[in-house]
Structures are given as C-alpha cells and as structure tokens.
Structure 1
Amino acid sequence: MSILEKLKTRRKPTYKMPPGGTDAHCHVFGPGAVFPYAPNRRYTPEDAPKEHLRALHDHLGIDRAVIVQASCHGIDNAAMLDCIASDPKRYRGVAIVNDGFTDKDFDTLGAGGVRGVRFNFVKHLGGAPDMAVFNRVMDRIKGRGWHVVLHVDAPDIVPLSDMIRKLPVPFVIDHMGRVPGKDGVDQPPLKALLELHKLDGAWVKVCGSERISMPPYAEAIPIARRIVDNRPDRVLWGTDFPHPNATHEADEADLVDLVPKIAPDSALQRKLLVDNPAVLYGF
C-alpha cells in the first residue's frame, strides 16, 4: 500500500507545526522506472517518489524539507534534484558524491539546491567509506559553504571522534548517532556525541526515534532532550520518511507528536524546526 493510500486512513498529528516547519531528513525513492536504483545497492526500497513526499508533508503540516540522498540511489542524485526542482523554495538537498565529481558537477548540484554531501559509515550499508576518497571530497567542498552529513553507528562514535574533530567543514550527525534508546542517557556513545556537538560547526539531528526505540518511542525522548538541551541552536529534526530498512512501520504523525516532548517550549520548537534549518540550508 502506497503512502497516498495510507494517508486516507492515518490520523493527523496533534502537534501543529509552526510556519516554516522543516523536515530536515527525508528521502525520495524512484520511481525506479524513471530514476533507477544503483546496481550495487544494499537494499531495494519501495518507490516513494516526490508526489508521495509532498502528500505526506501536506498531511503533517510541514512547509519545508531537506531531501537526503539515500544509498540505494548511489551517486546518481537525479531523483533528489528532480524533487527540489519541483518546488525550489520548499526543498533543499544533501547529495552522495565521490571524488570523480568535477567542479562543474558540484556547481550543478549547488544550483539545484544541494547544500551538503553525505557519507555512510554504518555497517549494514557497507561500513566506512574509502577515507582517501572521503578526504578528497572534503577538500573539494570546503570552499563552497557546504557541510558533510555523517551516518554512523553508535559503537563507532568514539573511534571516529578524532577524525570528526579534524574535519575542515561543518558536520551533521544523523539520527542521534543511532545510540540505543534502551541504554539511556549515560551510555558512552551519547556522551561522546554530546562532546562532538559542542564543536564549532557541529549539528545533530534528533530524528530516528523509530530507529533507536519502539513505539511510543519513550526511550528515545530522554536522549533527544539531552541533545536539544546540549546545544539548542545546532539541532535539526526530521521524519526519515520513508524509513528505509526499518524494524517496524512508523506513523509519521507519532514522530511529529514527539516534538513538544523533546523541545518543550515554543522558542525551542521554533529553533529546532524553523530557525536552525534556515541557517544551515538557506531557506
């Protein structure tokens, strides 16, 4: 059943998004017949094209979004760029690239609304990238005002910390570093994440509650609260729609309704949902 069919029966969130509210982490998949998936992909998702994403955001009351290139499309960013082009004021993007991209390629991505690049370090997506390639890409983007999005597993936060501290560009850590909700707020990976979060140029996304806990996501709330309180001007929120490689089917209305639990007052909510993504992505 497609998201369009599901939205006919799904509830709307209780929490009302502020004007300019931003989903800073979501994806478009395909359609595969138009935007083929990468031959070396680790998973093949169900199609979730731009029309599905827009319908979901309209249902949730979300005005803006950052389309994060997913590994199933590899370095072919066409589906993401097509989504941005459908409403350039509403969308921005984060690309997946390699060191074969030329300055002209980066110029094209920037003109298309891309403001950063993403690298996966998570094991189920193949583990750490070729660090020589990674470093060459960092050199290529550091003069563009872009950032790098790091998708990491919790056990790798400490081992990767030295590398992250030396990055020549701002960085964003996805999904609260995937720290397990069941391990609570005193776990070493979260403490390391919070230390990295204090660095100049550091951002953390308090999305992925459905990745680190199960409904009603009570175990994720204290972790997200700790991150928001740690540096409220450097946090972002997102749905992670359509939840690739999920352990269960998440209802995005439930994720929206977590916002006032992790950012309890309207000033914090505005920072998380409106002001912070506007700073980083130029909305």
Structure 2
Amino acid sequence: MTPDYLPFHPDPKKPDYVPPRGAVDAHCHVFGPAKTFPFAPERKYTPCDASKEQLFALRDFLGFSRNVIVQASCHGKNNDALLDALRTAGDKARGIAVVGPDITEAELQEMHDAGVRGVRFNFLKRLVDDTPKDVFRKIVDKIKPLGWHVIVYFEAEDLLELKPFLTSLPVTVVVDHMGRADVSKGIGDPSFQAFVSLLRDHENFWTKVSCPERLSVKGVPYDDVIPFANYLVEQFPHRVLWGTDWPHPNMKSHMPDDGFLTDIIPMIAPSEKQQQMLLVENPDRLYWAD
C-alpha cells in the first residue's frame, strides 16, 4: 500500500435509511486481491485489497440490491478484476471499464456479455497521464454500436477546456461526483452554474450526486455539499445517479462511514419519487435496459 493510503472503514453503521427495493449503488470499485489481480505497473497509487466478496457484503448490509462497479486507475486497462466481479454477481451488477483504442470488437463483446455498459475517461492529472483526445474518440467510435456510455472524471476548473470535446461525443456522458464542484463558493458560483448549464443544454449528460466526503470543505456531516446535490436532483431528476465510491480510493483527510453516506440520501432526494428515480429508475434505464 502507498504509505499514506487510508483503508476503507472497517465497521460502518447500519443505515437508518432503508433504500427502495432494487436500489443501486452506482459507483463503487474492486481492488485486487493483488495476488490474483495485480495492480498496473503505471499506477499512481497502490491501494489496499478490496475484494468482490467485501463489496457484495457491504451492498447487502447497506440495503442495496445492485452495484455498478467502476474500473479504477490502479488497475489500468486490465479489467480482469472487474470482469471477475461482474461474472460472480450476475444480474446484480454492471460495470464500467477502462480500455485503449486498440481494443477489439471481440474483446468489447466479451465485456458486454459480462455486464460492462460503458467506459471511463479520467482527466485527473494526479491519477493518470494525459491522453490525446483522438484516442478517446477512437474508443467512443468502437463502443457506440454496443449502446455503451462514457463516464468522465475531471476537476471543476478543467470543464471549460474539456467542454468542446465532451459535447462532441455522440453518446450518453455521465459526469462523476457533480463535476467536483467547489462547494466553498456556493451554488451561485459561475463555475458550478457552468456545469449546470452543461446539463441543461445537453440532454445526453448525466451526473452522479456522490462523494460528499471528497467535496466537503467542512467535513462530516458534509452539510456544505448537500445543497449542491439536492439542487441537481431537483433540476435533473431523470439524469442523476448515486454511489458510495467504496472503498474510497485516495481519501486523505478521513475515511467515510458508508452507512452514514447512505443516510444522506433522503437529504439530497427528499421525496420517495426522487429516491426511486435516483436509486432505481435512472440506473435501470442506463444499465439494465437490455
């Protein structure tokens, strides 16, 4: 493990909130175990093992029915751990892979059969090396026939530079973690409103209202983040997703309690209808439609 890496919470609370039947944790990861699924040589960090068994046990403990498992940068473009978890879970999980432009149709079809429904493009320079946009375009051309979508992860200050590229993509685009909004500046901040405009002007854009622990300036109970997530749920009820981000890679300040994170859901989506859409209907449409 990287020396300052924080392992996931060993004993999360049982949530007071009970998710609706069919609820999806739409953003989580599996790491290793390294002895079986080695980490990528080019990785920027080495995490603790976080196995499929531990993820599925957490899913059940928190009261969720299904997962969307996202390939993380520590495994690079080797999706073996992800595919192994998907095959074990069957219809209880779907996946997001990381691939290169040389991926073949046969390899993509094998991933699709295992439950992969999209690819992730990571633009955080502290986590991945810079990639030319043409490489991403070649990947999109290959995944589009499968009906897959793209997950994008970027810093808020990079949106202006990325917007022309992102809006040119002919597929659904899901933005991780509210575009990493700077919550210290308030909802009216021009940079956050630029992100809101992106969603409003482009109906193929979705966002995850997740990771208050990463965005908060004040820390637990993340009161400074809740208004941003609630605003997006209110404005775009059909295009929001939620996830734990377990096992919370590269958290430096503290390790969040996943039970507490689950209890935040009714604060960001107060009505039963909003919760049903956020946790069941929206992920159903994006990941289980076929």
The normalised TM-score by structure 1 is 0.96
Partner of 1:265: 271
Please point out which of 176, 200, 203 is paired with 1:200. 203
Output the CA distance in 2 between the equivalents of 1:184 and 1:47. Answer: 37
Output the CA distance in 2 between the equivalents of 1:193 and 1:255. Answer: 24
Output the CA distance in 2 between the equivalents of 1:197 and 1:67. Answer: 24
Partner of 1:95: 97
Partner of 1:131: 133
What is the one-letter code of the residue matched to 1:208? C
Is the Cα–Cα contact under 8 Å of residues 13 and 258 in structure 2 kept in the other structure? Answer: no
SS across alignment from 2:10: helix
Output the CA distance in 1 between the equivalents of 2:226 and 2:181. Answer: 12
- 2:216 is aligned with 1:227: no
| 1:201-216 correspondence to structure 2 within 5 Å | 201-213=204-216, 214-216=219-221
- 2:79 is aligned with 1:73: no
Partner of 2:257: 251
Partner of 2:3: none
| 1:33-182 correspondence to structure 2 within 5 Å | 33-126=35-128, 128-182=130-184
Output the CA distance in 2 between the equivalents of 1:209 and 1:2. Answer: 18
Structural RMSD (CA): 1.4
Shift of 1:166: 1.1
**Size of the alignment, in residue pairs?**
280
Q: Call closer, same or farther: CA 1:280–1:166 in 2, change over 3 Å.
A: same
Partner of 1:242: 247
CA shift digits 1:72-96 (9 cap, x unpaired): 0011101111111112110000000
Output the CA distance in 2 between the equivalents of 1:128 and 1:220. Answer: 29
* Higher RCO structure, 1 or 2 (CA under 8 Å, sep 6+): 2
Is the Cα–Cα contact under 8 Å of residues 133 and 165 in structure 2 kept in the other structure? Answer: no
Is the Cα–Cα contact under 8 Å of residues 22 and 65 in structure 1 kept in the other structure? Answer: yes
What is the one-letter code of the residue matched to 2:226? I
Output the CA distance in 1 between the equivalents of 2:24 and 2:237. Answer: 16
CA shift digits 1:12-68 (9 cap, x unpaired): 011111101100000000000000000000110000010110111111011100000
SS across alignment from 2:84: helix
CA shift digits 1:192-211 (9 cap, x unpaired): 21112121211100011111
In structure 2, the gaps of 5 or more residues are 1-5
Is the Cα–Cα contact under 8 Å of residues 28 and 245 in structure 2 kept in the other structure? Answer: yes
Output the CA distance in 1 between the equivalents of 2:182 and 2:89. Answer: 36
Output the CA distance in 1 between the equivalents of 2:130 and 2:214. Answer: 20
Is the Cα–Cα contact under 8 Å of residues 150 and 171 in structure 1 kept in the other structure? Answer: yes
What is the one-letter code of the residue matched to 1:200? E
SS across alignment from 1:241: coil
Give every structure 1 segment of 4 or more consecutive aligned residues whose post-TM-superposition deviation is greater than 6 Å: none
